[in-house]
Amino acid sequence: MAVFKVAKCPTDELSLSNCAVVNEADFPNTKHIKIHTGGGQNFVFSIKSHPSIARYSVGFSLPQRKWAVLSLNQEFNVEAYHPEEYISSIVLEADFMQKKTTSQEQYDTDEMAKEFLYAFPNQMFTVGQQLAFAFKDKKMLLLVIKDIEVVDISAIKAGGDAKPRKAKMGQLIPNTLVQFEKAENSSLNLVGKSKGKVVRQSIINPDWDFQKMGIGGLSNEFNAIFRRAFASRVFPPEIIEQLNCKHVKGILLYGPPGTGKTLMARQIGKMLNAREPKIVNGPQILDKYVGESEANVRRLFADAEEEEKRAGPNSGLHIIIFDEIDAICKQRGSVAGNTGVHDTVVNQLLSKIDGVEQLNNILVIGMTNRKDMIDDALLRPGRLEVQVEISLPDEDGRLQILEIHTARMKQYKKLSSDVDLRELAALTKNFSGAELEGLVRAAQSTAMNRLIKASSKVEVDPEAMEKLLVGRSDFLHALENDVKPAFGTAQEIINQCLARGIINWGSPVTNIIEDGMLFIQQARSAEGSGLVSVLLEGPPNAGKTALAAQLAKNSDYPFVKVCSPEEMVGFTETAKCLSIRKIFDDAYRSTLSCILVDNIERLLDYGPIGPRYSNLTLQALLLLLKKQPPPGKKLLVLCTSSRRQVLEEMEMLSAFTAVLHVPNLSKAEHLLNVLEAADVFSNQELKQIAHQVHGKRIFIGIKKLLALIDMARQTDERNRVIKFITKLEEDGALEDPGMA
């Protein structure tokens, strides 16, 4: 073993050969040397000779000196080395020699493997070794040996096992399998079959637990989003290249307020192993200065653009979440004024998501409850192409949401055993996720209020912590008094219409109720078209609105809305149409819906002098009465009118599934039935009235009759019957048959 000194590699060409350079006289018949640098450190190099290297010196290139930790003129021991193990496969980590270099140029790993075998024939390689590699006329690469598998030739000759095994070093042979991997954070773009298995960071966060998402009732929607938007990102880039598949760049979540759109977007951001999501409220983008709104949009995409240029297909995913996206992406040309700020913001966003210089490393998530306001160009494939409706949860979904919001209460035993979440889920029809959370909060408030002593000062019972228990009664109290669903039943208006109840004065009322129940079942039926519209027509004061309200109540549909002309006093034609349209649009969001359209002729602004009416409102109603609800949704429309002939002339009757006639009272027994139910007259008085009306024609609406009964209630008992009969005759409700 001789002592040698470290010298520089004499030429650039030799430094690229990966060989240590020696004087020919020192190693006349040797191809490889082992150097000992002290501390038990040994390194093996293949050698080449050059006359400029002095005797007892060895020239090393800069990467070699870095790897073996050698300094110039350092002394070390050298001996000849004879290899016994030959490399069957070698894995090399590649990066640009100049770390700051960025290039989208493709490096074909198959060509690189051939070039590597040609450039370094029969050389020794060690795991961890660094070397410079000049591939064709491209930029200089730095290679690091990551993995080596060898076969032992002597073992093969002796008839032993020839299976490859991992080793620290070995000699390259012409049949060695060469694979290349890209160094971490490198912008090197490797293609070809000799590209090694890239250790890819999973797009799904490894610590993510789908059970702990905290999103109830949205599993189907979440699965749809995952299938469309993330499935392609789970596969390796080379598979996506083979499919020529482009990733989905945009998702639009739309639906009623409080259904979990923002929550889902937030959870998607947490679930993905991506850059920190940028969350933008729509109005934040807009700026009073010219061009600043568009610049705000460009800034959102700047990081993604920079990484796309640097890392190409290996760029990380950048998520941009737009809350209330309808604020900035309104239909172009729809905003009044000549500034065109909204239009240019939409144009800028469109060009960034899928313009000429399109980005493939972004995911834009937009949220809105006004999908109709968003520009159509934003909704086409390539932009916000995955559009998922986040609708009101069904009963199972409501149960999941209630379980999420009461989980902590159960954990600390603050939920009473009499609380049945399944029962609450059944009672909370058409509640959104936010309203269910509000219900739990209201129940907690009710429970806490029981433990507060309101004396001269407000005090909390000292043992409140132990006593506090949220029970079933708290939830029912909150359900009755505190939280009402935005898409629920118009209970107060329905009860107002039924203030006097339904008085069954004869077979016409019974028939209408029975027929109405058949139509309710028809609307609910899975075999039906999903739309049933019924018109209740008859003379004024016949009780049409009350009967329609009773049918709406009997339907027990989760969504019941009343469209009444009283609510639209002073509305313009356009405002009235939009108001009616909104009621129908809201109904389409519920599985089962009932709309009561009261007094259609008043809604149409009908006036007999002229005659005059609103054609715009008429056309809107005709279209909505015939429009089929979305698949899976059922709609029952109950309408009332006192002007059948007018509706027939307007060609409106054909829009209804059925027309039910609500008559006035026309027989003496009808009148007596109502008087008995009202419980105002005594039996003796009822006999007197029966005698007075016997043989006479009766024609009076139930509403008018009840008003006369109320008047009789205030009259002195001695004159009550006479006053009542007189009023009937004065109002023309009681006539002798012989009178014209």
- The domain segmentation of the chain, as residue ranges, is 2-80, 86-191, 210-389, 395-482, 489-661, 668-735
The Cα–Cα gap between 589 and 430 comes to 9
CATH number given to 489-661: 3.40.50.300
Task: Give mean pLDDT, residues 649-670.
Answer: 87
The Cα–Cα gap between 168 and 153 comes to 16
Q: Which residues contact 539 (CB under 8 A, 6 or more apart)?
A: 642, 663, 664, 701
Range from 50-59, 244-253, 681-690, 728-737 carrying the lowest mean pLDDT:
728-737
Which pLDDT value is given to residue 175?
Answer: 80
The Cα–Cα gap between 409 and 416 comes to 9
Coil vs helix vs strand at 315: coil
What separation in angstroms does the CA of 471 have from each of 169, 243, 414, 450, 480? 72, 57, 9, 12, 15
Mean pLDDT taken over the chain: 81
The Cα–Cα gap between 323 and 5 comes to 68
CATH number given to 395-482: 1.10.8.60
| CATH class for the domain made up of 2-80 | mainly beta
At residue 247, does pLDDT exceed 90?
A: no
Which pLDDT value is given to residue 613?
Answer: 85
Which pLDDT value is given to residue 294?
Answer: 81
Q: Which of 159-173, 263-277, 571-585 has the highest mean pLDDT?
A: 571-585
Per-residue pLDDT tens over the stretch 33-86: 888 887 778 889 999 998 888 888 999 988 888 888 888 888 888 888 888 788
pLDDT band at 639 (very low <50, low <70, confident <90, very high): very high
Q: Dig out the tokens for 681 from the structure.
A: 């007259």
Number of Cβ within 10 Å of residue 498's Cβ equals: 16
Share of the chain above pLDDT 70, in %: 88
Coil vs helix vs strand at 475: helix
Q: Dig out the tokens for 191 from the structure.
A: 């293609």
Residue 547 has phi, psi (to 5 degrees) of -65, -40
Q: Which CATH architecture has domain 86-191?
A: Roll (3.10)
Burial, 369: exposed, middle or buried (Cβ in 10 Å; 0-12, 13-18, 19+)? middle
Coil vs helix vs strand at 644: helix
Range from 268-272, 312-316, 727-731 carrying the lowest mean pLDDT:
312-316
Which pLDDT value is given to residue 738?
Answer: 55
Task: Give mean pLDDT, residues 426-453.
Answer: 85
Cα Rg for the chain, rounded, in angstroms? 42
Which pLDDT value is given to residue 238?
Answer: 66
The CATH topology of domain 210-389 is Rossmann fold (3.40.50)
Q: Dig out the tokens for 474 from the structure.
A: 């708290």
Task: Give mean pLDDT, residues 644-670.
Answer: 87
Q: Which of 298-302, 513-517, 647-651 has the highest mean pLDDT?
A: 513-517
**Top-confidence residue, 351 or 207:** 351
pLDDT band at 161 (very low <50, low <70, confident <90, very high): low
Coil vs helix vs strand at 442: helix
Q: The tokens 């507060």 sit on which residue?
A: 452
Per-residue pLDDT tens over the stretch 464-510: 667 788 888 889 888 888 888 877 667 778 878 887 788 888 888 88
Per-residue pLDDT tens over the stretch 400-423: 888 888 888 888 888 888 888 999
Task: Give mean pLDDT, residues 115-137.
Answer: 87
Per-residue pLDDT tens over the stretch 607-636: 888 778 888 888 999 999 888 888 888 899
Spacing of C-alpha 165 from chain mean position:
50
pLDDT band at 338 (very low <50, low <70, confident <90, very high): very low
At residue 203, does pLDDT exceed 60?
A: no
Residue 126, strand partner residues? 169
Per-residue pLDDT tens over the stretch 250-290: 888 888 888 888 777 777 777 776 677 888 876 777 766 66
pLDDT band at 740 (very low <50, low <70, confident <90, very high): very low
In this chain, the answer to whether the domains covering 489-661 and 668-735 adopt an identical fold is no
Under a CB-based contact definition with an 8 Å cutoff, are residues 47 and 27 in contact? Answer: yes
CATH number given to 668-735: 1.10.8.60
